[in-house]
């Protein structure tokens, strides 16, 4: 059973505009959420995370929003840059568990 | 700080053959994970080690997959015999106790079973 879902397999955005990536989860026990970025032939790298006690976390151009009642989170990238072109994975876990459940990923293409 | 090292980078084998993957985690990281990523899907946890003990192997197909982490450092994942559906990227990750920020993935081993 897929507990973390990213329903948009791909996203194309113009350089300088906002990229919005969405993620839904079904397991109400999840209380920690992470976003990873993956380039071809490389492993995923940590981007940003959020605990369920918060509804927003910001790090430079990246902001993650969490809506616990809807079991939904989103990643905003502003402004989008060509180097942001990659696959983005949403992941969820329970605190002190450390086993990550991943979504299928969203491929972001930033157009010049 | 050196990253998580994995080898080989690529492997092509015939079905029913055996294969082994190696992972060397970041120095000092107590926890080591093996994930399987099938094309078009997110990584799926196969097994989690804490030092040299298994914490969770509930999703490891134990009839054909085995893993060990001798001396609590590097680890080997083996498949015997391989099936076509085992074609995937096998990712190793490691983390320090009690933290997510150091949760670091290696570049993976891409396995193709023909």
pLDDT confidence band for B1 (50 / 70 / 90): low
Domain count, chain A: 1
Please report the pLDDT score of residue B100 as a whole number: 61
| Per-residue tens of pLDDT for chain A, all 112 residues | 689 999 999 999 999 999 999 999 999 999 999 999 999 989 999 999 999 999 999 999 999 999 999 999 999 999 999 999 999 999 999 887 778 899 999 999 999 9
Residues 80-109 of B with CB under 8 A from A: 91, 93, 95, 98, 100-101, 103-108
Q: Is residue A64 part of a domain?
A: yes
Q: Which residues from B are below 8 Å from A44, CB to CB?
A: 43, 91, 105
Q: Supply the pLDDT for residue A82.
A: 96
> Which pLDDT band, with edges at 50, 70 and 90, does B71 fall under?
confident
Query: What is the C-alpha separation between B69 and B52, in angstroms, rounded?
Result: 5
A49, A98, A103 ranked by CB distance to B42: nearest = A103
Asked whether the beta carbons of residue B44 and residue A45 sit closer than 8 angstroms, the reply is no
| Average pLDDT of span B87-94 | 96
Taking an 8 Å cut-off on Cβ atoms, the answer to whether B105 and A45 are in contact is yes
Instruction: Give the per-residue pLDDT at B97.
Output: 66
A112, part of any domain? no
The whole domain housing A28 covers 4-107
The Cα–Cα gap between B9 and B79 comes to 16
Average pLDDT on B33-57 reads: 93
* Domains recognised in chain B with CATH numbers: 5-113 (2.60.40.10)
User: Residues with Cβ < 8 Å from A62, sequence gap 6 or more?
Assistant: A35, A47, A48, A75, A76, A77
**Mean pLDDT of the B56-81 span:** 94
Q: Which of B9, B32, B43 to mutate to test the interface with A (most CBs of A within 10 A)?
A: B43
Domain CATH code at residue A34: 2.60.40.10
Mean pLDDT, range B95-108, rounded to an integer: 77
pLDDT score at A87: 96
- CB contacts of B24 in chain A (<8 Å) are none
């Amino acid at each position: 059973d897929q507990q973390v879902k990213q329903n948009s397999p791909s996203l194309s955005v113009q350089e300088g505009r906002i990229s919005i990536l969405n993620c839904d989860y079904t397991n109400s026990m999840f209380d920690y959420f992470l976003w990873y970025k993956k380039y071809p032939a490389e492993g995923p790298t940590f981007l940003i995370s959020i605990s369920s006690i918060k509804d927003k976390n910001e790090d430079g151009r990246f902001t993650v929003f969490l809506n616990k009642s809807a079991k939904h989170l989103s990643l905003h990238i502003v402004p989008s840059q060509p180097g942001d072109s990659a696959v983005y994975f949403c992941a969820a876990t329970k605190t002190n568990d450390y086993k990550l459940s991943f979504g299928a990923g969203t491929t972001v293409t930033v157009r010049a | 700080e050196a990253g998580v090292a994995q080898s080989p980078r690529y492997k092509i084998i015939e079905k029913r053959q055996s294969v082994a993957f190696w992972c060397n985690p970041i120095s000092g990281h107590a926890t080591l994970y093996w994930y399987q990523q099938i094309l078009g899907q997110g990584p799926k946890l196969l097994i989690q080690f804490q030092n040299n003990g298994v914490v969770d192997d509930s999703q490891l197909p134990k009839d054909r997959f085995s893993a060990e982490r001798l001396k609590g450092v590097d680890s080997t994942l083996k498949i015997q015999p391989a099936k076509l559906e085992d074609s995937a990227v096998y990712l190793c990750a490691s983390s320090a106790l009690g933290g997510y920020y150091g949760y670091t993935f290696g570049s993976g081993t891409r396995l193709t079973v023909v």
